[in-house]
Structure 1
Protein backbone atom coordinates (compact mmCIF):
# COMPACT_ATOMS: atom_id res chain seq x y z
CA UNK A 1 0.00 0.00 0.00
CA UNK A 2 2.72 2.46 0.97
CA UNK A 3 4.84 1.52 -2.04
CA UNK A 4 1.93 2.16 -4.39
CA UNK A 5 1.32 5.58 -2.88
CA UNK A 6 4.99 6.48 -3.21
CA UNK A 7 5.00 5.45 -6.87
CA UNK A 8 1.83 7.48 -7.41
CA UNK A 9 3.47 10.52 -5.75
CA UNK A 10 6.53 10.21 -7.98
CA UNK A 11 4.40 9.82 -11.09
CA UNK A 12 2.22 12.79 -10.14
CA UNK A 13 5.26 14.97 -9.45
CA UNK A 14 6.79 14.06 -12.81
CA UNK A 15 3.51 14.71 -14.59
CA UNK A 16 3.12 18.10 -12.88
CA UNK A 17 6.67 19.09 -13.78
CA UNK A 18 6.06 18.09 -17.38
CA UNK A 19 2.89 20.17 -17.55
CA UNK A 20 4.63 23.20 -16.03
CA UNK A 21 7.53 22.97 -18.49
CA UNK A 22 5.10 22.50 -21.39
CA UNK A 23 3.08 25.58 -20.43
CA UNK A 24 6.29 27.58 -19.93
CA UNK A 25 7.53 26.46 -23.35
CA UNK A 26 4.31 27.40 -25.13
CA UNK A 27 3.80 30.71 -23.32
CA UNK A 28 5.06 33.61 -25.50
CA UNK A 29 7.89 35.44 -23.77
CA UNK A 30 7.96 39.23 -23.57
CA UNK A 31 11.21 40.47 -25.13
CA UNK A 32 13.46 42.61 -22.95
CA UNK A 33 13.86 45.96 -24.70
CA UNK A 34 17.34 46.55 -23.28
CA UNK A 35 18.56 43.14 -24.42
CA UNK A 36 17.01 43.60 -27.87
CA UNK A 37 18.70 46.98 -28.33
CA UNK A 38 21.94 45.54 -27.04
CA UNK A 39 21.87 42.78 -29.66
CA UNK A 40 21.25 45.35 -32.40
CA UNK A 41 24.05 47.64 -31.22
CA UNK A 42 27.61 46.71 -32.29
CA UNK A 43 29.22 47.10 -28.87
CA UNK A 44 32.01 45.14 -27.23
CA UNK A 45 31.07 41.88 -25.61
CA UNK A 46 30.54 42.21 -21.90
CA UNK A 47 32.62 40.12 -19.61
CA UNK A 48 30.57 37.75 -17.53
CA UNK A 49 27.55 37.80 -19.84
CA UNK A 50 25.91 34.41 -20.11
CA UNK A 51 25.99 32.78 -23.55
CA UNK A 52 22.72 32.43 -25.35
CA UNK A 53 21.30 28.95 -25.34
CA UNK A 54 18.18 26.85 -25.05
CA UNK A 55 18.64 26.27 -21.33
CA UNK A 56 18.98 29.96 -20.53
CA UNK A 57 16.04 30.83 -22.75
CA UNK A 58 13.92 28.15 -21.09
CA UNK A 59 14.70 29.50 -17.62
CA UNK A 60 13.81 33.03 -18.64
CA UNK A 61 10.56 31.93 -20.25
CA UNK A 62 9.65 30.01 -17.11
CA UNK A 63 10.50 33.08 -15.04
CA UNK A 64 8.37 35.35 -17.25
CA UNK A 65 5.45 32.95 -16.88
CA UNK A 66 5.94 32.90 -13.09
CA UNK A 67 6.07 36.71 -12.89
CA UNK A 68 2.75 36.91 -14.76
CA UNK A 69 0.96 34.07 -12.99
CA UNK A 70 2.29 33.62 -9.45
CA UNK A 71 1.75 36.14 -6.61
CA UNK A 72 4.60 38.56 -5.97
CA UNK A 73 4.74 37.75 -2.26
CA UNK A 74 5.93 34.18 -2.80
CA UNK A 75 9.42 35.33 -3.82
CA UNK A 76 9.99 36.67 -0.25
CA UNK A 77 13.12 38.74 -0.97
CA UNK A 78 14.77 39.42 -4.30
CA UNK A 79 18.47 40.50 -4.32
CA UNK A 80 17.86 43.41 -6.69
CA UNK A 81 21.25 45.10 -6.25
CA UNK A 82 23.11 41.85 -6.70
CA UNK A 83 21.22 41.05 -9.89
CA UNK A 84 21.87 44.54 -11.25
CA UNK A 85 25.58 44.16 -10.53
CA UNK A 86 25.73 40.74 -12.18
CA UNK A 87 23.38 41.84 -14.99
CA UNK A 88 21.20 38.80 -14.44
CA UNK A 89 17.58 39.24 -15.60
CA UNK A 90 14.96 38.91 -12.91
CA UNK A 91 13.08 36.34 -14.99
CA UNK A 92 16.16 34.08 -15.05
CA UNK A 93 16.41 34.17 -11.25
CA UNK A 94 12.74 33.26 -10.88
CA UNK A 95 13.14 30.46 -13.41
CA UNK A 96 16.11 29.09 -11.44
CA UNK A 97 14.13 29.24 -8.21
CA UNK A 98 11.21 27.28 -9.70
CA UNK A 99 13.50 24.67 -11.25
CA UNK A 100 15.41 24.18 -7.99
CA UNK A 101 12.15 23.90 -6.05
CA UNK A 102 10.85 21.33 -8.55
CA UNK A 103 13.99 19.26 -8.07
CA UNK A 104 13.49 19.48 -4.32
CA UNK A 105 9.97 18.12 -4.72
CA UNK A 106 11.09 15.25 -6.95
CA UNK A 107 14.21 13.96 -5.21
CA UNK A 108 12.68 12.53 -1.97
CA UNK A 109 9.83 10.59 -3.71
CA UNK A 110 12.30 9.13 -6.20
CA UNK A 111 14.63 8.09 -3.38
CA UNK A 112 11.70 6.59 -1.45
CA UNK A 113 10.64 4.67 -4.56
CA UNK A 114 14.19 3.36 -5.00
CA UNK A 115 14.39 2.22 -1.38
CA UNK A 116 10.97 0.61 -1.70
CA UNK A 117 12.22 -1.43 -4.67
CA UNK A 118 15.16 -2.79 -2.66
CA UNK A 119 12.87 -3.58 0.27
CA UNK A 120 13.49 -0.60 2.55
CA UNK A 121 10.08 1.04 2.67
CA UNK A 122 9.34 4.34 4.43
CA UNK A 123 6.06 5.72 5.75
CA UNK A 124 4.33 8.09 3.35
CA UNK A 125 4.77 11.08 5.67
CA UNK A 126 8.57 10.93 5.52
CA UNK A 127 9.03 11.53 1.75
CA UNK A 128 6.14 14.02 1.75
CA UNK A 129 7.69 16.13 4.53
CA UNK A 130 11.15 15.76 3.00
CA UNK A 131 9.84 16.95 -0.38
CA UNK A 132 8.32 20.11 1.10
CA UNK A 133 11.37 20.88 3.24
CA UNK A 134 13.88 20.29 0.45
CA UNK A 135 11.78 22.32 -2.01
CA UNK A 136 11.76 25.29 0.38
CA UNK A 137 15.53 25.05 0.95
CA UNK A 138 16.37 24.72 -2.74
CA UNK A 139 13.96 27.55 -3.59
CA UNK A 140 16.36 29.99 -1.87
CA UNK A 141 19.60 28.55 -3.30
CA UNK A 142 19.60 30.92 -6.35
CA UNK A 143 19.33 33.88 -3.94
CA UNK A 144 22.40 32.80 -2.01
CA UNK A 145 24.27 32.08 -5.25
CA UNK A 146 23.50 35.60 -6.53
CA UNK A 147 24.59 37.18 -3.23
CA UNK A 148 27.86 35.21 -3.20
CA UNK A 149 28.62 35.99 -6.85
CA UNK A 150 27.87 39.68 -6.23
CA UNK A 151 30.23 39.71 -3.24
CA UNK A 152 33.07 38.42 -5.41
CA UNK A 153 32.12 40.86 -8.17
CA UNK A 154 32.31 43.78 -5.72
CA UNK A 155 35.79 42.71 -4.67
CA UNK A 156 36.83 42.57 -8.32
CA UNK A 157 35.24 45.97 -8.90
CA UNK A 158 37.21 47.48 -6.00
CA UNK A 159 40.49 46.09 -7.36
CA UNK A 160 39.81 47.43 -10.85
CA UNK A 161 38.59 50.75 -9.46
CA UNK A 162 41.96 51.36 -7.81
CA UNK A 163 43.69 51.06 -11.20
CA UNK A 164 41.02 53.21 -12.84
CA UNK A 165 41.50 56.00 -10.26
CA UNK A 166 45.26 55.99 -10.94
CA UNK A 167 44.58 56.30 -14.67
CA UNK A 168 42.20 59.21 -14.10
CA UNK A 169 44.81 60.91 -11.92
CA UNK A 170 47.43 60.58 -14.67
CA UNK A 171 45.00 61.95 -17.26
CA UNK A 172 44.17 64.93 -15.05
CA UNK A 173 47.86 65.53 -14.36
CA UNK A 174 48.54 65.66 -18.10
CA UNK A 175 45.98 68.45 -18.55
CA UNK A 176 42.81 66.58 -19.59
CA UNK A 177 39.42 67.83 -18.47
CA UNK A 178 37.32 66.05 -15.89
CA UNK A 179 35.00 64.21 -18.27
CA UNK A 180 37.74 63.61 -20.81
CA UNK A 181 40.01 62.10 -18.15
CA UNK A 182 37.26 59.78 -16.87
CA UNK A 183 36.26 58.60 -20.34
CA UNK A 184 39.83 58.12 -21.57
CA UNK A 185 40.74 56.10 -18.47
CA UNK A 186 37.64 53.91 -18.89
CA UNK A 187 38.66 53.07 -22.46
CA UNK A 188 42.05 51.70 -21.39
CA UNK A 189 40.87 48.48 -19.76
CA UNK A 190 38.79 45.70 -21.32
CA UNK A 191 37.42 44.09 -18.16
CA UNK A 192 33.72 44.23 -17.30
CA UNK A 193 34.42 46.94 -14.70
CA UNK A 194 35.95 49.32 -17.23
CA UNK A 195 33.21 48.44 -19.73
CA UNK A 196 30.52 49.26 -17.17
CA UNK A 197 32.14 52.60 -16.31
CA UNK A 198 32.54 53.47 -19.98
CA UNK A 199 28.88 52.71 -20.64
CA UNK A 200 27.70 54.90 -17.77
CA UNK A 201 29.95 57.78 -18.81
CA UNK A 202 28.78 57.54 -22.43
CA UNK A 203 25.15 57.47 -21.31
CA UNK A 204 25.71 60.54 -19.13
CA UNK A 205 27.28 62.39 -22.07
CA UNK A 206 24.25 61.80 -24.29
CA UNK A 207 21.76 62.58 -21.53
CA UNK A 208 23.55 65.77 -20.46
CA UNK A 209 24.09 64.47 -16.92
CA UNK A 210 27.39 65.28 -15.16
CA UNK A 211 29.60 62.17 -15.07
CA UNK A 212 29.95 62.23 -11.28
CA UNK A 213 26.17 62.20 -10.90
CA UNK A 214 25.98 59.16 -13.20
CA UNK A 215 28.58 57.39 -11.06
CA UNK A 216 26.67 58.37 -7.90
CA UNK A 217 23.55 56.76 -9.34
CA UNK A 218 25.48 53.64 -10.35
CA UNK A 219 27.06 53.38 -6.89
CA UNK A 220 23.66 53.63 -5.19
CA UNK A 221 22.12 51.10 -7.58
CA UNK A 222 24.86 48.50 -7.18
CA UNK A 223 25.91 49.17 -3.58
CA UNK A 224 29.47 50.33 -4.33
CA UNK A 225 30.64 52.86 -1.70
CA UNK A 226 34.12 53.08 -3.21
CA UNK A 227 32.68 54.36 -6.47
CA UNK A 228 30.57 56.87 -4.55
CA UNK A 229 33.68 58.32 -2.87
CA UNK A 230 35.44 58.59 -6.23
CA UNK A 231 32.42 60.44 -7.68
CA UNK A 232 32.61 62.94 -4.81
CA UNK A 233 36.26 63.66 -5.61
CA UNK A 234 35.49 64.17 -9.30
CA UNK A 235 32.61 66.49 -8.43
CA UNK A 236 35.05 68.75 -6.58
CA UNK A 237 37.20 68.90 -9.70
CA UNK A 238 34.32 69.49 -12.11
CA UNK A 239 32.29 72.01 -10.13
CA UNK A 240 34.95 73.83 -8.13
CA UNK A 241 38.03 73.32 -10.31
CA UNK A 242 40.02 71.86 -7.42
CA UNK A 243 43.29 70.05 -8.03
CA UNK A 244 42.55 66.41 -7.29
CA UNK A 245 45.69 64.56 -8.39
CA UNK A 246 46.91 64.07 -4.83
CA UNK A 247 43.45 63.14 -3.60
CA UNK A 248 43.03 60.54 -6.33
CA UNK A 249 46.39 58.92 -5.68
CA UNK A 250 45.66 58.87 -1.95
CA UNK A 251 42.25 57.30 -2.59
CA UNK A 252 43.70 54.54 -4.80
CA UNK A 253 46.39 53.84 -2.20
CA UNK A 254 43.72 53.64 0.52
CA UNK A 255 41.72 51.16 -1.58
CA UNK A 256 44.75 48.92 -2.04
CA UNK A 257 45.62 49.12 1.65
CA UNK A 258 42.08 48.21 2.68
CA UNK A 259 42.01 45.23 0.30
CA UNK A 260 45.45 44.11 1.51
CA UNK A 261 44.31 44.28 5.14
CA UNK A 262 41.20 42.24 4.31
CA UNK A 263 43.28 39.61 2.56
CA UNK A 264 45.74 39.46 5.46
CA UNK A 265 42.88 39.06 7.95
CA UNK A 266 41.36 36.30 5.81
CA UNK A 267 44.73 34.54 5.54
CA UNK A 268 45.19 34.75 9.32
CA UNK A 269 41.72 33.29 9.89
CA UNK A 270 42.49 30.41 7.50
CA UNK A 271 45.83 29.84 9.27
CA UNK A 272 44.08 29.67 12.64
CA UNK A 273 41.57 27.16 11.31
CA UNK A 274 44.39 25.05 9.89
CA UNK A 275 46.14 25.00 13.26
CA UNK A 276 43.14 23.37 14.93
CA UNK A 277 43.66 19.88 13.39
CA UNK A 278 47.34 20.01 14.36
CA UNK A 279 46.42 20.84 17.96
CA UNK A 280 43.91 18.00 18.04
CA UNK A 281 46.52 15.58 16.74
CA UNK A 282 48.85 16.70 19.53
CA UNK A 283 46.15 16.06 22.14
CA UNK A 284 45.44 12.61 20.69
CA UNK A 285 49.16 11.79 20.67
CA UNK A 286 49.52 12.83 24.32
CA UNK A 287 46.47 10.75 25.22
CA UNK A 288 48.01 7.72 23.55
CA UNK A 289 51.20 8.21 25.55
CA UNK A 290 49.41 8.62 28.87
CA UNK A 291 46.73 5.95 28.36
CA UNK A 292 48.98 2.86 29.02
CA UNK A 293 50.26 4.30 32.31
CA UNK A 294 46.73 5.12 33.45
CA UNK A 295 45.44 1.69 32.49
CA UNK A 296 48.34 0.01 34.30
CA UNK A 297 47.70 2.12 37.41
CA UNK A 298 43.99 1.27 37.48
CA UNK A 299 44.58 -2.44 36.85
CA UNK A 300 47.13 -2.63 39.68
CA UNK A 301 44.73 -1.04 42.13
Structure 2
Protein backbone atom coordinates (compact mmCIF):
# COMPACT_ATOMS: atom_id res chain seq x y z
CA UNK A 1 0.00 0.00 0.00
CA UNK A 2 1.53 3.31 -1.09
CA UNK A 3 1.76 6.42 1.04
CA UNK A 4 -0.80 8.25 -1.11
CA UNK A 5 -3.44 5.59 -0.53
CA UNK A 6 -2.66 5.55 3.20
CA UNK A 7 -3.05 9.33 3.32
CA UNK A 8 -6.36 9.10 1.49
CA UNK A 9 -7.62 6.49 3.96
CA UNK A 10 -6.63 8.66 6.92
CA UNK A 11 -8.34 11.73 5.43
CA UNK A 12 -11.47 9.75 4.63
CA UNK A 13 -11.66 8.34 8.14
CA UNK A 14 -11.12 11.79 9.62
CA UNK A 15 -13.93 13.32 7.56
CA UNK A 16 -16.34 10.51 8.42
CA UNK A 17 -15.49 10.82 12.12
CA UNK A 18 -15.98 14.59 12.01
CA UNK A 19 -19.36 14.17 10.32
CA UNK A 20 -20.51 11.65 12.94
CA UNK A 21 -19.30 13.94 15.73
CA UNK A 22 -21.25 16.91 14.35
CA UNK A 23 -24.39 14.80 13.98
CA UNK A 24 -24.11 13.62 17.59
CA UNK A 25 -23.59 17.20 18.78
CA UNK A 26 -26.78 18.30 16.99
CA UNK A 27 -28.77 15.52 18.69
CA UNK A 28 -27.76 16.65 22.21
CA UNK A 29 -30.27 18.92 24.01
CA UNK A 30 -29.32 22.57 23.77
CA UNK A 31 -30.11 25.45 26.16
CA UNK A 32 -32.96 27.81 25.24
CA UNK A 33 -32.01 30.27 22.50
CA UNK A 34 -32.60 33.64 24.17
CA UNK A 35 -30.66 35.58 21.53
CA UNK A 36 -33.29 35.41 18.75
CA UNK A 37 -36.05 36.41 21.19
CA UNK A 38 -34.05 39.42 22.41
CA UNK A 39 -33.25 40.43 18.83
CA UNK A 40 -36.97 40.36 17.96
CA UNK A 41 -37.79 42.55 20.94
CA UNK A 42 -34.87 44.94 20.37
CA UNK A 43 -33.94 44.73 16.70
CA UNK A 44 -32.09 48.06 16.68
CA UNK A 45 -29.94 47.52 19.74
CA UNK A 46 -29.08 43.84 19.44
CA UNK A 47 -25.36 43.22 18.97
CA UNK A 48 -23.63 40.66 16.85
CA UNK A 49 -21.30 38.04 18.31
CA UNK A 50 -20.73 36.17 15.07
CA UNK A 51 -17.42 34.25 14.85
CA UNK A 52 -14.79 35.52 12.44
CA UNK A 53 -15.03 32.41 10.25
CA UNK A 54 -18.78 32.84 9.78
CA UNK A 55 -18.27 36.52 8.94
CA UNK A 56 -15.70 35.58 6.29
CA UNK A 57 -18.16 33.18 4.68
CA UNK A 58 -20.93 35.79 4.74
CA UNK A 59 -18.77 38.27 2.85
CA UNK A 60 -17.98 35.78 0.09
CA UNK A 61 -21.24 33.93 -0.40
CA UNK A 62 -24.72 35.20 -1.21
CA UNK A 63 -26.85 34.40 1.81
CA UNK A 64 -30.67 34.53 1.47
CA UNK A 65 -31.17 36.74 4.51
CA UNK A 66 -34.85 37.48 3.83
CA UNK A 67 -35.60 33.78 3.33
CA UNK A 68 -33.83 32.90 6.57
CA UNK A 69 -35.75 35.55 8.50
CA UNK A 70 -38.99 34.27 7.00
CA UNK A 71 -38.16 30.71 8.09
CA UNK A 72 -37.01 32.04 11.49
CA UNK A 73 -33.48 30.71 11.03
CA UNK A 74 -30.19 32.39 11.77
CA UNK A 75 -27.30 32.65 9.36
CA UNK A 76 -25.26 30.47 11.69
CA UNK A 77 -27.86 27.71 11.34
CA UNK A 78 -27.79 28.19 7.58
CA UNK A 79 -24.04 27.73 7.33
CA UNK A 80 -24.18 24.83 9.77
CA UNK A 81 -26.80 23.12 7.59
CA UNK A 82 -24.64 23.62 4.51
CA UNK A 83 -21.60 22.24 6.32
CA UNK A 84 -23.39 19.18 7.70
CA UNK A 85 -24.91 18.42 4.31
CA UNK A 86 -21.51 18.68 2.65
CA UNK A 87 -19.96 16.41 5.28
CA UNK A 88 -22.76 13.89 4.83
CA UNK A 89 -22.17 13.88 1.07
CA UNK A 90 -18.49 13.21 1.76
CA UNK A 91 -19.21 9.79 3.26
CA UNK A 92 -19.93 7.81 0.08
CA UNK A 93 -17.00 9.16 -1.97
CA UNK A 94 -14.76 8.67 1.05
CA UNK A 95 -15.84 5.03 1.27
CA UNK A 96 -15.10 4.65 -2.44
CA UNK A 97 -11.65 6.13 -1.84
CA UNK A 98 -11.02 3.67 0.99
CA UNK A 99 -12.19 0.78 -1.18
CA UNK A 100 -9.85 1.83 -3.97
CA UNK A 101 -6.96 2.01 -1.51
CA UNK A 102 -7.73 -1.34 0.14
CA UNK A 103 -8.20 -3.21 -3.13
CA UNK A 104 -5.06 -1.62 -4.54
CA UNK A 105 -6.83 -0.68 -7.76
CA UNK A 106 -4.83 1.14 -10.39
CA UNK A 107 -6.81 4.35 -10.10
CA UNK A 108 -5.28 7.71 -9.38
CA UNK A 109 -6.08 8.92 -5.90
CA UNK A 110 -7.02 12.33 -7.33
CA UNK A 111 -10.09 10.88 -9.07
CA UNK A 112 -11.95 9.79 -5.89
CA UNK A 113 -10.68 12.91 -4.16
CA UNK A 114 -12.18 15.06 -6.91
CA UNK A 115 -15.45 13.13 -6.71
CA UNK A 116 -15.47 13.74 -2.95
CA UNK A 117 -15.07 17.50 -3.36
CA UNK A 118 -17.72 17.59 -6.11
CA UNK A 119 -20.17 15.66 -3.91
CA UNK A 120 -19.59 18.07 -1.01
CA UNK A 121 -20.21 21.09 -3.24
CA UNK A 122 -23.33 19.49 -4.71
CA UNK A 123 -24.66 18.78 -1.22
CA UNK A 124 -24.13 22.39 -0.16
CA UNK A 125 -25.89 23.65 -3.30
CA UNK A 126 -28.84 21.32 -2.71
CA UNK A 127 -29.12 22.50 0.90
CA UNK A 128 -29.15 26.12 -0.28
CA UNK A 129 -31.83 25.42 -2.89
CA UNK A 130 -33.93 23.65 -0.25
CA UNK A 131 -33.87 26.75 1.94
CA UNK A 132 -34.86 28.96 -1.00
CA UNK A 133 -37.70 26.64 -2.07
CA UNK A 134 -39.06 26.35 1.47
CA UNK A 135 -38.98 30.14 1.79
CA UNK A 136 -40.88 30.52 -1.50
CA UNK A 137 -43.60 28.18 -0.23
CA UNK A 138 -43.74 29.98 3.12
CA UNK A 139 -43.92 33.38 1.42
CA UNK A 140 -46.84 32.22 -0.73
CA UNK A 141 -48.60 30.94 2.39
CA UNK A 142 -47.95 34.28 4.12
CA UNK A 143 -49.50 36.10 1.16
CA UNK A 144 -52.63 33.93 1.24
CA UNK A 145 -52.98 34.51 4.98
CA UNK A 146 -52.75 38.26 4.42
CA UNK A 147 -56.05 38.12 2.49
CA UNK A 148 -57.77 36.86 5.62
CA UNK A 149 -55.98 39.37 7.82
CA UNK A 150 -57.01 42.28 5.60
CA UNK A 151 -60.65 41.19 5.67
CA UNK A 152 -60.63 40.81 9.46
CA UNK A 153 -58.96 44.21 9.90
CA UNK A 154 -61.58 45.75 7.61
CA UNK A 155 -64.39 44.23 9.71
CA UNK A 156 -62.81 45.60 12.87
CA UNK A 157 -62.54 49.07 11.35
CA UNK A 158 -66.15 48.86 10.19
CA UNK A 159 -67.12 47.93 13.75
CA UNK A 160 -65.82 51.26 15.03
CA UNK A 161 -62.44 50.17 16.42
CA UNK A 162 -59.33 52.23 16.00
CA UNK A 163 -56.49 51.21 13.69
CA UNK A 164 -54.26 49.90 16.50
CA UNK A 165 -57.06 47.93 18.11
CA UNK A 166 -58.21 46.63 14.73
CA UNK A 167 -54.79 45.17 14.02
CA UNK A 168 -54.60 43.54 17.45
CA UNK A 169 -58.10 42.08 17.38
CA UNK A 170 -57.75 40.79 13.82
CA UNK A 171 -54.47 39.03 14.65
CA UNK A 172 -55.76 37.55 17.92
CA UNK A 173 -58.63 35.56 16.35
CA UNK A 174 -56.48 33.71 13.82
CA UNK A 175 -54.18 30.73 14.19
CA UNK A 176 -51.08 29.63 12.35
CA UNK A 177 -47.43 30.61 12.18
CA UNK A 178 -48.17 33.64 10.00
CA UNK A 179 -50.35 35.27 12.63
CA UNK A 180 -47.87 34.27 15.33
CA UNK A 181 -45.25 36.37 13.53
CA UNK A 182 -47.71 39.23 13.20
CA UNK A 183 -48.64 39.07 16.89
CA UNK A 184 -44.94 39.06 17.81
CA UNK A 185 -44.44 42.19 15.72
CA UNK A 186 -47.42 43.92 17.34
CA UNK A 187 -46.18 42.93 20.81
CA UNK A 188 -42.73 44.26 19.99
CA UNK A 189 -44.30 47.55 18.92
CA UNK A 190 -46.20 47.79 22.21
CA UNK A 191 -43.09 47.09 24.29
CA UNK A 192 -41.04 49.66 22.39
CA UNK A 193 -43.87 52.24 22.31
CA UNK A 194 -43.81 52.33 18.52
CA UNK A 195 -46.75 52.52 16.13
CA UNK A 196 -47.75 48.98 15.08
CA UNK A 197 -47.69 49.84 11.37
CA UNK A 198 -44.02 50.81 11.63
CA UNK A 199 -43.23 47.40 13.11
CA UNK A 200 -45.30 45.61 10.46
CA UNK A 201 -43.53 47.62 7.76
CA UNK A 202 -40.16 46.59 9.16
CA UNK A 203 -41.25 42.95 9.26
CA UNK A 204 -42.49 43.15 5.66
CA UNK A 205 -39.15 44.59 4.59
CA UNK A 206 -37.19 41.94 6.46
CA UNK A 207 -39.08 38.95 5.04
CA UNK A 208 -39.88 40.58 1.67
CA UNK A 209 -43.66 40.26 1.85
CA UNK A 210 -45.03 43.27 0.00
CA UNK A 211 -48.64 42.66 1.04
CA UNK A 212 -47.84 43.13 4.71
CA UNK A 213 -46.15 46.44 3.88
CA UNK A 214 -49.26 47.55 1.98
CA UNK A 215 -51.39 46.82 5.06
CA UNK A 216 -48.99 48.84 7.20
CA UNK A 217 -49.22 51.80 4.81
CA UNK A 218 -53.02 51.67 4.78
CA UNK A 219 -53.26 51.54 8.58
CA UNK A 220 -50.69 54.35 8.90
CA UNK A 221 -53.05 56.51 6.85
CA UNK A 222 -55.88 55.66 9.23
CA UNK A 223 -53.75 56.34 12.29
CA UNK A 224 -52.19 59.63 11.19
CA UNK A 225 -54.98 61.16 9.09
CA UNK A 226 -58.03 59.46 10.58
CA UNK A 227 -59.17 58.16 7.19
CA UNK A 228 -61.82 55.47 6.86
CA UNK A 229 -59.86 52.60 5.35
CA UNK A 230 -62.56 49.92 5.34
CA UNK A 231 -63.14 50.05 1.59
CA UNK A 232 -59.40 50.29 0.91
CA UNK A 233 -58.69 47.16 2.94
CA UNK A 234 -61.48 45.21 1.25
CA UNK A 235 -60.35 46.32 -2.21
CA UNK A 236 -56.75 45.34 -1.45
CA UNK A 237 -57.88 41.91 -0.21
CA UNK A 238 -59.96 41.35 -3.35
CA UNK A 239 -57.09 42.36 -5.64
CA UNK A 240 -54.75 39.99 -3.78
CA UNK A 241 -57.20 37.11 -4.20
CA UNK A 242 -57.52 37.86 -7.92
CA UNK A 243 -53.74 37.88 -8.30
CA UNK A 244 -53.33 34.64 -6.37
CA UNK A 245 -56.06 33.02 -8.49
CA UNK A 246 -54.40 34.22 -11.69
CA UNK A 247 -51.01 32.90 -10.60
CA UNK A 248 -52.53 29.55 -9.63
CA UNK A 249 -54.23 29.25 -13.02
CA UNK A 250 -50.99 30.12 -14.82
CA UNK A 251 -49.10 27.54 -12.78
CA UNK A 252 -51.73 24.90 -13.51
CA UNK A 253 -51.58 25.70 -17.23
CA UNK A 254 -47.78 25.45 -17.17
CA UNK A 255 -47.91 22.04 -15.51
CA UNK A 256 -50.54 20.89 -17.97
CA UNK A 257 -48.34 21.93 -20.88
CA UNK A 258 -45.46 19.97 -19.40
CA UNK A 259 -47.61 16.83 -19.59
CA UNK A 260 -47.80 17.19 -23.39
CA UNK A 261 -44.18 16.10 -23.80
CA UNK A 262 -44.49 12.64 -22.15
CA UNK A 263 -47.87 12.16 -23.85
CA UNK A 264 -46.33 12.86 -27.26
CA UNK A 265 -43.41 10.55 -26.47
CA UNK A 266 -45.83 7.77 -25.48
CA UNK A 267 -47.77 8.18 -28.73
CA UNK A 268 -44.50 8.04 -30.68
CA UNK A 269 -43.50 4.81 -28.94
CA UNK A 270 -46.90 3.28 -29.67
CA UNK A 271 -46.61 4.25 -33.34
CA UNK A 272 -43.19 2.64 -33.54
CA UNK A 273 -44.44 -0.56 -31.91
CA UNK A 274 -47.43 -0.72 -34.23
CA UNK A 275 -45.56 0.12 -37.42
CA UNK A 276 -42.44 -1.96 -36.84
CA UNK A 277 -43.95 -5.37 -37.82
CA UNK A 278 -45.40 -3.92 -41.02
CA UNK A 279 -42.14 -2.20 -41.99
CA UNK A 280 -40.11 -5.31 -41.13
CA UNK A 281 -42.25 -7.54 -43.41
CA UNK A 282 -42.10 -4.92 -46.16
CA UNK A 283 -38.30 -4.76 -46.19
CA UNK A 284 -37.93 -8.54 -45.83
CA UNK A 285 -39.89 -9.05 -49.02
What is residue 263 of structure 2 aligned with on the other side? Answer: 278
The answer to whether the 8 A contact 2:157-2:166 is kept is: yes
What is residue 168 of structure 1 aligned with on the other side? Answer: 153
The answer to whether the 8 A contact 1:112-1:122 is kept is: no
The answer to whether the 8 A contact 1:219-1:228 is kept is: yes
Counterpart CA distance in 2 for 1:206 and 1:128 is 55
Segments of structure 2 that go 5 or more residues without pairing to the other structure are 40-48
Segments of structure 1 that go 5 or more residues without pairing to the other structure are 39-63
TM-score, normalised by the number of residues in structure 2: 0.82
What is residue 100 of structure 1 aligned with on the other side? Answer: 85
What is residue 292 of structure 1 aligned with on the other side? Answer: 277
- Residues 1:72 and 2:71 are matched in the alignment: no
Deviation at 1:71, TM superposition (A): 6.1
- Residues 1:218 and 2:203 are matched in the alignment: yes
Counterpart CA distance in 1 for 2:177 and 2:219 is 22
SS in 2 for 1:140: helix
What is residue 55 of structure 1 aligned with on the other side? Answer: none
TM alignment of 1:234-245, pairs within 5 A? 234-245=219-230
Counterpart CA distance in 2 for 1:102 and 1:162 is 42
Output one character per residue of 1:48-99: Cα deviation in whole Å (capped at 9) or x when no partner. xxxxxxxxxxxxxxxx99x344661475121111111111122222222222
Instruction: Give the number of aligned pairs.
Output: 269
Cα 1:286–1:214 change in 2 (3 A) is same
The answer to whether the 8 A contact 1:215-1:231 is kept is: yes
Counterpart CA distance in 2 for 1:30 and 1:14 is 31
Cα 1:116–1:242 change in 2 (3 A) is same
RCO (CA 8 Å, sep 6+): is it higher in 1 or 2? 2
Counterpart CA distance in 2 for 1:12 and 1:287 is 53
Output one character per residue of 1:102-135: Cα deviation in whole Å (capped at 9) or x when no partner. 2333321212333666786632121011111122
Cα 1:233–1:118 change in 2 (3 A) is same
What is residue 34 of structure 1 aligned with on the other side? Answer: 35
Output one character per residue of 1:199-253: Cα deviation in whole Å (capped at 9) or x when no partner. 1112112222222221111111111111111112112211222221111111112
Counterpart CA distance in 2 for 1:32 and 1:68 is 21
TM alignment of 1:112-123, pairs within 5 A? 112-114=97-99, 122-123=107-108
Cα 1:216–1:80 change in 2 (3 A) is same
Counterpart CA distance in 2 for 1:140 and 1:131 is 14
What is residue 14 of structure 2 aligned with on the other side? Answer: 15
SS in 1 for 2:161: coil
